[in-house]
Chains A and B, each alone.
Chain A
Amino acid sequence: MQRMMAIVERELRKFFRSPTLMLVSMVMPLVQLVILGNAFGGKIHNARVGVVDYDHGEQAMRVHEMFDSVAANIKTFTVVQCNDERQAREDVRTGKLDAALIIPAQYSRRVLARDSPKLGLVVDNSDQFLSSSLEAEMQSLADALNAPAVQPKVVQQIVLQIVELYPYVEYMKYFLAGSIALALYVSVMIGGGMLYIDDKARGVHEGFLVTPITRVELVMGLNLAGAIKAVLSGVSLTVIGSLLAGLGVIFHPVRVFQLALLIVAVSIAFNGMMFLLMVRVEDPLVPRAMFGVLNTLLFFPSGSIYPVAAFPRWLRAIAVVDPFTYAVHGFKAILLKDGGFAAIQTDILFLFAFGIGTLLIATPLFKRTL
C-alpha cells in the first residue's frame, strides 16, 4: 500500500505543482461549450424569404399579413417582395434569398372555391437545418390559413396535446453533459496517456521497475492518481459549466452527490480504458496521434451532440459499448432532469464495470520488465 501511495503522491505532487494539465484539460471542453452551445442553441432568425405574388387577391393578402406578423414578432424571416418567379428561384440558388414563396394566379379564387389551392415554397435544401426550419414555419402558417374562421362545437380532428416535462432546455445546457465528459476524457488522455508514455520514454518507469514495487501496486497507483486528476478536472468543469449554462444544480446537495458519484465512475472507466490502450505503447507520438481519433470515435457517437436514436445501426453499436454514452446520459439525467438515482444507476454500474474490466485486462498486459 505504501508503495502504491508513493506513486499516487508523485503524480499528484507533479499535478499540483504544474497545474497546466488541469487548465489544458478544461480549455477545449469550455471553448466547445461556449461556442457550440451558443452556435447550435439558437433558432433561425432573419432568414430572407422572397414572396412572388401573382394573385394580389384577398386571400393572398392574408398570406402577406401572416408573413408580416412573423417578420415583426418572432423574426424567423424577413420578407423580400419579388416580381418574378424565375428570378426568385435564381436568387435562392445564388444565396441572395434563403427561400421563396410563390402565390400563384387564381389563388384567392381557388381558396374560396375550395379548389385545391396551393402555395409554392422554393428552398435551398443544401442547408438541411435552415430549409427544414423554414418548411416547418411555413407549414404552421399553412395550417393557420386552413383553420376555419369559427371553430365547430365538436372538434372533428385528432389533436395532440404535448406535455413538456421540463422548462425549455437551451442547447448550451443540453451540451454541458458532453462537455463534462469531454473534460474528463482530455484529462485522462493527457494525464493518463501522454504523460504516462512520456515518463516511460524518459526512463522514469525504469527507475520504478528496479524497486520492489509489484505490478499491481504500480498499475493501481498510476490509475488511482489518473482517476483523482480526472475527478478534479471534472468537478471544476461541472461547476464552471453549470454557472455558464445557468444551471443551479450545484446548489442542490443530493444532485451534487449524484454528480460526484458519476464523475468518479466516469474517471475510473475512462482511466481504465486509456490504460488498456496505452499499456504496451512505447512511442510518445502514439497517444498524440490517437487523441483526435478517439475523440471522434467516442465523443460524437455518445449522444452529446446529436441523439443516439438518430444514428444508423452500426453507429448505435459503438454507442452501446462507448463509456462516453453512459457518462453523457448520466450527466444529462442529473443536470437536466433530476431523475434521481434510478435514472443514473445503469450508467454508474456500466461505468464501474467497464473501468474494473479494462483494468483487469490491462494489469497482466503491463510489463514488469522493460
Chain B
Amino acid sequence: MTTHKSDPRYADIAIAVENIVKRYADFEAVSGVSFQVKNGEMFGLLGPNGAGKSTLIRMMTTLIPATSGRAIIAGFDVAKEPDIVRRAIGVIPQALTSDIDLTVEENLSIYAKLYGVPKAQREKNIEELLGAVDLLKWRDAQTKTLSGGMRRRLEIARGLIHNPQIFFLDEPTTGLDPVSRVAVWEMLDHLRSTRELTILITTHYMDEADHLCDRIAIVDHGKLVALDTPIALKASVPGNSVVDVQFARDAGEWRERLQSLAGLTSVETQSMGSYRLHTENGPQTTASLVALAADKGGVIKSLSVQNTTLDDVFVHYTGRQLRDEQVKAPLFQMPPRPGM
C-alpha cells in the first residue's frame, strides 16, 4: 500500500489531480488538467456538456483509467490503490441508478453491504441518513413511487452510506425542478457541515456553482481554463458591474456620449438604442448616466444594474455563452472507447 499522506505536498489535500489526460483514439476528452481540493472544501467543476467534467470525475473515482497523469484521492493514487480509494469516496453518478423495484431502505442496505459495512453500523447509518435526506417516512416505499427530487436525495444518502471522506457528485440537480434543486443544495450544505465532507461537484448551472462552491474550476474542451473562488473569478472579469440601458430614441449618437462616462471599462452595442456598459462602480455609473440623459434630453426606456455573474466569467474565459453550448450539447457524441 503506497500512501502520499506523509508527503508534505499533499498535507491537508483531499484530491490532487496532476496533468491528467484521457484520450479515446484521436479524441482527447481531458487534456492535461491539474488542480487540488483541500480537505473540507466544496469544489465545483463547471462547464458545458461534453467539456470533460464527467470523464474527469470518472478518472478520479476509479471508473476509467487515465491515459497519462495521475489522481491522488485521500492520499492514495487511484491507479495503484483503487480499492482503498473506493472505500474513501462516495459517488453519485449523473444518471438516477437506484433500483426502482427495491424500497428506499433496501437500496441503502444493499449498497452498505457492497461497501462491507457491518450490520449494526449499517442500521445506524441508514437511520441517520434517511433522517438527513428527509426520507424517513418513505423508507418502505418502492423507489419507483418517489419523485425525481426524492430519488436524487436517496442517491445522495446511498453515496454516504459508508461514511466516506470525499463525496463526488456528477450533475446532481440535472433534470430537477427549481424547488428540488434548492432542496438538494440545502442538503449538501448541511451534510458538508455535519459530516466534515470534502465535496467535488460537477455542474453546468452557474447559480449552483456560485451558491455551493468554495472554489470553481471552469473546464472547456477538456482543458482547465480558470480556477478560483467565485468572488475572485468574478473580480477577474474586467468591469465588476454590468449596466444595461435602452434609449427611446437613438440614431447612434449615444454610444459616443456613453464612452465619456467615468469608470467604464467597455461599452457594447446590443441593438439600436440598447447598450451594455461594464464598469468598476455600478451605482456611480448609473447616477452619471441618468444625469447625462437629463442633460442631453434623452429618454431612458429601461435601465438595469447587475454585478458580474459566473455567466460573464464563463464568456470571458471561453469566449461564448454556456447556454449556447447546452443547446448544442445533444449533438455531441462520445466516440467509442477502445476495445468496445
Contacts and interface: CB of A to CB of B under 8 A. Distances in A.
Interface of A: 2-3, 5-7, 9-10, 13-14, 17-18, 202-204, 206-213, 280, 282, 369-370
A236 B162 CA distance: 39
A281 B64 CA distance: 17
Contacts, number: 75
Counting chain A CB atoms within 10 Å of each CB, the highest count among B58, B86, B113, B142 belongs to: B113
A212 B86 contact: yes
9 contacts: A3-B113, A203-B93, A203-B94, A207-B93, A209-B63, A210-B63, A369-B64, A370-B63, A370-B337
B175 interface: no
A202 B111 CA distance: 17
Given A13-B106, A209-B63, A204 B87 contact: no
Contact of B97 (A6, A7, A18, A202): A202
Given A6-B113, A10-B110, A202-B95, A18 B101 contact: yes
Given A212-B86, A212-B87, A206 B63 contact: yes
A210 B113 contact: no
B114 A206 contact: no
Interface in B86-104: 86-87, 89, 91, 93-95, 97, 99, 101-102
Ranked 6 nearest A-B pairs via Cβ: A6-B113, A203-B95, A211-B114, A210-B91, A203-B97, A14-B101
Nearest to A281: B340
Contact of A207 (B65, B89, B97, B106): B97
B62 interface: yes
A213 B97 contact: no
Contact of B63 (A2, A3, A369): A369
Given A211-B114, A212-B86, A206 B102 contact: no
A210 B62 CA distance: 7
B113 A2 contact: yes
Secondary structure dominating the interface of B: loop
A3 to B, nearest CB: 5
A197 to B, nearest CB: 13
Given A3-B116, A211-B111, A206 B97 contact: yes
Given A13-B101, A13-B106, A282-B340, A213 B64 contact: no
B61 interface: yes
A208 B58 contact: no
Counting chain B CB atoms within 10 Å of each CB, the highest count among A207, A210, A211 belongs to: A210
Contacts of B94: 203
Contacts of A280: 339-340
A210 B97 contact: no
A370 B102 CA distance: 24
B95 A210 contact: no
Contacts of A7: 114
A9 to B, nearest CB: 6
Given A207-B93, A210-B91, A370-B64, A2 B116 contact: yes
Contacts of B65: 369
Contacts of B337: 370
A325 B101 CA distance: 36
Given A207-B93, A369-B65, A370-B64, A212 B113 contact: no
Nearest to A208: B114
A23 to B, nearest CB: 15
A15 to B, nearest CB: 9
Given A2-B113, A13-B101, 4 more contacts: A203-B97, A207-B111, A212-B87, A369-B64
Contacts of B114: 3, 6-7, 208, 211-213
B61 A13 contact: no
Nearest to A209: B63
Nearest to A17: B101
B158 to A, nearest CB: 8
A10 B111 CA distance: 10
A210 B339 CA distance: 21
Nearest to B65: A369
B83 interface: yes
Contacts of B142: 17
A17 B142 CA distance: 10
Contacts of B93: 203, 206-207, 210
Contact of A210 (B61, B106, B110): B61
B35 interface: no
A10 B115 CA distance: 14
Contacts of B115: 211-212
Contacts of A204: 97, 99
Contacts of A6: 110-111, 113-114
Interface string B59-83: 0011111000000000000000001
Nearest to B162: A211
B89 A210 contact: yes
Contacts of A17: 101-102, 142
Contact of B58 (A3, A18, A207, A370): A370
Counting chain B CB atoms within 10 Å of each CB, the highest count among A3, A7, A14, A211 belongs to: A211
Counting chain B CB atoms within 10 Å of each CB, the highest count among A10, A208, A213 belongs to: A10
A5 to B, nearest CB: 7
A2 B113 CA distance: 6
Contact of B62 (A10, A202, A203, A369): A369
Contacts of B339: 280
Contact of B86 (A5, A202, A211, A282): A211
Contact of A10 (B64, B95, B97, B102): B102
Contacts of B158: 207
B61 A9 contact: no
